[in-house]
Amino acid sequence: MRPVRLPALAPRPFEDELLSCWHWRVSSHYSCSPRQVENWISGGSVGPNPHLFRHDVSADQPATRLWALACRLRQVDLERLSLQNTGRSGASFVSDPAHRGVCPTCLDEDAEEGRDHYCRRSWACVEAVACPRHKIGLEINCSGCFRSGLFQFRSTPVGVVRLFCRDCDAIVSARRFPRRDQTDLLQVASLVGEAIGKGGSEFERIDAASRFLWSPRPEGMPYIAALGLSLPYGQRPSVAKGAAPLASLPPAWRAVTITTIANLLFQVAPKTVPLSSSVREAFRQFEQGPTEECHQAPPPTRTASVVNLRAETEYRQLARGIIQSEGWKSLPSKAGRARNRAIGKLMLRALNDE
């Protein structure tokens, strides 16, 4: 058996830390990735790594044992960092690490107390959209450059690890500007989280509600975009067919989805647009499954509009008349919206024979 190498520095895991976070904290002290550290510990390649973050949901026991031996820890102390020990379904955690938010105020407290930044296990839950301690939303965007993506653990010159923005190299912090109080959102998230924690039929209904809200309507957009809700700024995320929306959405969109689910299932709707009876009926039918094709009413036929085109010579004559008119001579001199609008009016008048 090949001896295990021992790294000189291996910080102890925190009680509520996420396993992949601890891997990155250890590795950042050596300016490399967890996979590189694992290869060095074992004295050779340990094989391909399809996704390091999968260990958060289900710990790889051989790999965990290797890390425990090298870092002088008990294997059980590392295995408890895995999400599988929470007793919840794997579908109740955010699958994409880039969509797991962080609380910048929690990280500021880490820095004030002289410890490393670290990610809490609770931040990986689908209902984790705000920090219950500081009552602010969890964030995936840098407060400096506002870009989103995975933050990066780096060791600082004083020997502590901080989360940095990959784009502008700023330390993740809440000190740049005050955050909005999210007490109402926390109450809703707590209600939904409690139901998810029970599992069984309650979790199944919440999952069904999220799939209903993100199911495409005939025009292509998801149902949630047609309810008149206040939606997050920016491009609407796409949810792959068959994927669980709550496990694949970023925090802001999960917050809207969770609030709407609470309204749909528990009639709890703080500061949101009330859902109509037609929406509730549509969800009831969605829960029952697809309707048989023979019972579906045929779609209404649409009469195509007829466009009466004119002869090309007539269009040329109209254009010549527009250019020679007094309205053309009085157009705004600068190109822009006002000039384009004035030209449009001249064209409309000419086509309507005014």
Domain ranges of the chain: 1-86, 183-289
Q: Do 88 and 196 form a contact (C-beta atoms < 8 A)?
A: yes
Tokens 């969770």 correspond to 258
Q: Which of 16-25, 198-207, 305-314 has the lowest mean pLDDT?
A: 305-314
H or E, element range at 351: helix 337-351
Phi, psi values for residue 139, rounded to 5°:
-125, 145
Note the pLDDT of residue 347: 83
Whether residue 68 contacts residue 77, with contact meaning beta carbons closer than 8 Å, is answered with yes
User: Helix H segments across the chain?
Assistant: 19-28, 34-42, 54-57, 61-70, 75-79, 104-112, 183-198, 200-213, 245-248, 251-266, 277-288, 312-324, 326-329, 337-351
Residue 301, pLDDT above cutoff 80: no
DSSP 75-100: HHHHHTTSGGGG---GGGB-S-GGG-
Percentage of the residues of the chain whose pLDDT score is greater than 70? 88
> Considering only 22-31, 273-282, 309-318, which range has the smallest mean pLDDT?
309-318
Residue 199, pLDDT > 60, answer: yes
Type of residue at 183:
T
Q: What is the mean pLDDT of the chain?
A: 85
Residue 168 and residue 304: Cα distance in Å, rounded?
53
Quick: pLDDT tens for 156-197.
999 999 999 999 999 999 998 999 999 999 999 999 999 998
With a pLDDT cut of 90, the percent of the chain lying above it is 46
Q: How far apart are CA 105 and CA 122, in angstroms?
A: 15
What global pTM score does this model have? 0.76
**Distance, CA of 290 to CA of 334 (rounded, Å):** 57
Looking at residue 271, its pLDDT comes to 62
What amino acid occupies position 22? W
For residues 102 and 119, is the Cβ–Cβ distance under 8 A?
A: yes
Give the range among 11-15, 36-40, 207-211 with minimum mean pLDDT: 36-40
* Of 27-31, 129-133, 196-200, 338-342, highest mean pLDDT: 129-133
More confident residue, 238 or 212: 212
pLDDT in tens, 56-95: 776 678 888 999 999 999 999 998 998 888 888 888 999 8
Most confident stretch, 34-38, 111-115, 146-150, 279-283: 111-115
Confidence of residue 17 (pLDDT cuts 50, 70, 90): very high
Q: How far, in Å, are 84, 99, 310, 350 from residue 317 at the CA level?
A: 76, 59, 11, 10
Find out whether 7 and 70 touch, Cβ atoms under 8 Å: yes
pLDDT band at 255 (very low <50, low <70, confident <90, very high): very high
pLDDT of residue 269: 66
Q: Which two tokens stand for residue 20?
A: 């992949």
Higher model confidence: residue 136 or residue 42? 136
